[in-house]
Structure 1
Amino acid sequence: MSQVGFYGLGSMGICMALNLQKHLQETKQPSLHYSNRTLSKGETLKAAGGVEEPNYAALVKSCDIIFTMISNDKVLNNLVDVALLAGSIRGKIFVDTSTVHPDTAVQSSEKLTNAGASFIASPVFGANAMAASGKLIFALAGPRAVTDLVKPLILNVMGRSIIELGEDVSKSSMLKIAGNVIVIGLMEVISEVQVFAEKVGLGTTIMEKMIADMFGPVAESYSKRLTTGCYAPPHGTTPGFGISLAIKDAKHAISIANGHDMRLNVSEAALSHMLNARSYAGENLDSSSMYGTIRQESGLPFWSENSRQCI
């Protein structure tokens, strides 16, 4: 049996890893090995039977299939370099579930393939709640022989569906970035309409009911990130999706669009609002915190009655 590993235990990664460990136990496969920059974040995984490795190099050495869920392109580049220095990686399969630039995915694939390993780019769609319930959507691209090997570790384990994009790993990264254009655009539009509702006297509760009835539970969930104050959570509370990650994703999308002679006008507006929110209130904000900036631009406080009330 293959030894499976997982690196990157942020708010998404820990949920994914726990579901993967549960599956391995239920199917009587070797326990998941894991590592993370901050090892203490793996305590719940250790309690569930996971096996801690001291660092990524040790994880690579001990595992045949290694999943990663990390924050940005720089981290992935560093992990690839570490893997290449960890000894022979011939035959190993690296599965990155993060959102990175398509060029980064291609470069990672080339480096690992040249060393005899395989690389699968499989960024995921879905927030923390979907990760916890094993309902993420995986955009999967890589060599067919190895994607078939990892699918049983994904479907009905960490994800509810797989979108297959062939062997070109840039395609899955591009699809994820395209999906983020929709998500960021929805957050921008819903932020605007909720501020509009407050300014004209309709109120956010009525507007949220209309959003739910007209556009369904996904749009309603985005609205609730605003109305419940999750866009600016209390200090010490992890945002649902951190603002710096969303800024990174928006910049990737805008850069790629500009390279293809087009503009993403809504994404550009959202990026500006997120940058202003981070400048005003710091890093501990959700990607939906463009809502605070739009409130300010409309003469309202950045903070709502349900959000935290301080910088």
Structure 2
Amino acid sequence: MADLRIGWYGLGSMGLPMATNLQRHLFKNAQPSLTYYNPTMTSGQPLKKLGAIPATSLRELLVECDMIFTMFANDSVLMETVESIAKLAVAITNKIFVDCSTVHPDTTESVSRTISGLGAIFLSAPVFGGPAIAATGQLVFAIGGPGPAAAITRRYIQDVIGRMVIECGEEARNASLLKIGGNIITLNLMEAVGEAQVFAEQTGLGTAAMEQLITESFGGVAGGYSKRLTSGIYAPALDTRPGFGVSLAIKDAEHALSLASDFQVSLPSLEIAHNNMRASRDYAGECLDSSSMYGTLRVNAGLPFWNGTSRQG
């Protein structure tokens, strides 16, 4: 099979490290350089230094590339982009679109219909892991959509920008469902770790021993969530960018709660985590990590929202 020309649209905190690993792979294997586009093109400077090619417009990206990865913050940006693609009236027959965003399955289904109606192929490929994991190329992918296109796409994911690909079948929406199900576990685990650390602090046990237990007994993921709290990352300095912002986590929780309501599934633990994240955002603003429910748990226990390593206001 001839080498495909790969494009990337969306260079945020997740998209940039993912695209960076992909460009490094393409360069190492003497394949055509990645072509990228982003509303803020200066975000792509690190890619350009690695040999990636900036597109001057979305139209150029569509024309030049055979496969286009997208990574957006939310449903509305994805929908607006797909509407723009449709309006451009560029021939995209048989091109493969791979969306890595975390969106509602209904959004995935709608986008899939639109892209397919234009003669192209749509795959949903949301990821598990934050920016630090993305930088190491160790993300876990879910992938849903037509099997032949998924097999081709896997060549650019497996051991390139991810360590594992979970096949979700021919329906693109199933990959979104798996991602949302995974988010239920992630947010509940953050809530549980936060509760345990507040308990440890208030009883005088101390957070260090609890963090060691969490890491040794429940693994590196849970231990990493604990470090977000004890290191103050849950409430970073106002001039920094949270690793995974609280509003994105709230959006993810609301997708899960909406689907649970539709299918008469009870998610009481997620409701608690969701409410605590909202309370944290109301108290401390947008510059918070998804683990910032910890601040509300601290307040509820009579402690300050801020710990000794976070910002203080």
Deviations 1:97-152, CA, capped at 9 Å, x for gaps: 11100111111111110110010000001112211111111101111121111111
CA distance in 2, matches of 1:252, 1:71: 14
Aligned to 1:97: 100
Q: Which moved more, 1:82-91 or 1:15-24?
A: 82-91
User: What is the 5 A alignment of 1:1-311?
Assistant: 1-86=3-88, 87-310=90-313
| Deviation by residue 1:144-180 (Cα, 9 ceiling, x = unmatched) | 1211111110001000010001111111000000000
Structure 2: distance between partners of 1:219 and 1:3: 39
Give the partner amino acid of 1:49. Answer: G
Structure 1: gaps spanning 5 or more residues: none
Q: Distance in 1 between matches of 2:297 and 2:80?
A: 37
AA in 1 matched with 2:22:
L
User: Where in structure 2 are there 5+ consecutive unaligned residues?
Assistant: none
The offset of 1:269, in angstroms, is 0.6
Q: TM-score normalised to the size of structure 2?
A: 0.97
Letter in 1 for 2:303: L
The structural deviation recorded for 1:54 is 2.9
**2:73 maps to amino acid:** S
Alignment-mate amino acid for residue 60 of structure 2? A
C-alpha distance in 2, partners of 1:2/1:200?
59
After the TM superposition, which of the residue ranges 267-276 and 78-87 deviates more from structure 2?
78-87
Q: Distance in 2 between matches of 1:243 and 1:145?
A: 37
Call closer, same or farther: CA 1:266–1:57 in 2, change over 3 Å.
Answer: farther
Instruction: Report runs of 4+ in structure 1 exceeding 6 Å deviation.
Output: none
3-state SS in 1 of match to 2:156: helix
**1:206 deviation in Å?**
1.1
**Paired-residue identity, %:** 50
Question: Retained in 2: the 8 A contact 1:37–1:55?
Answer: no
